[in-house]
Amino acid sequence: MKKPPLLAVLGVLALAGCSRTPDGVIPDDGTLVTIEIKMTGVVHPANYYYAVIDTDNNPGTGPIPVASRPWGNGYAAGSYTHYVLLHGGVFGVYESVDPSHSISTYLGRPIQAAVTTTSKPNDTIVVQLDTTQLKTVNPGVRALDVNLIATDRVPLDPQDPTPKIVDGLGRGGNDYVTIPVTYTSAYANGVDPDPTHPERAEPDIVPDPNCDILDWKITVMTGQ
Q: Tens digits of per-residue pLDDT, 110-165?
A: 999 999 999 999 999 999 999 999 999 999 999 999 999 999 999 999 999 999 99
Name which residue leads in pLDDT, 15 or 159. Answer: 159
**Buried residues in 95-115 as b, exposed as e (16+ CB within 10 A):** bbeeeebeebeebebbbbbbb
On the question of pLDDT at 13 being above 50, the answer is no
Question: Interior CA angle at 61 toward 58 and 62, to 5°?
Answer: 105
Q: 29-43, 148-162, 180-194: which has the minimum mean pLDDT?
A: 180-194
Type of residue found at 208? D
**Per-residue CA distances from 175 to 5, 44, 168 (Å):** 14, 24, 8
117 CB burial (10 A radius; 0-12, 13-18, 19+): exposed
Which of 102, 212, 214, 108 has the alpha carbon at shortest distance from 165? 212
Considering the entire predicted model, what is its pTM?
A: 0.88
Task: State mean pLDDT over 51-58.
Answer: 98
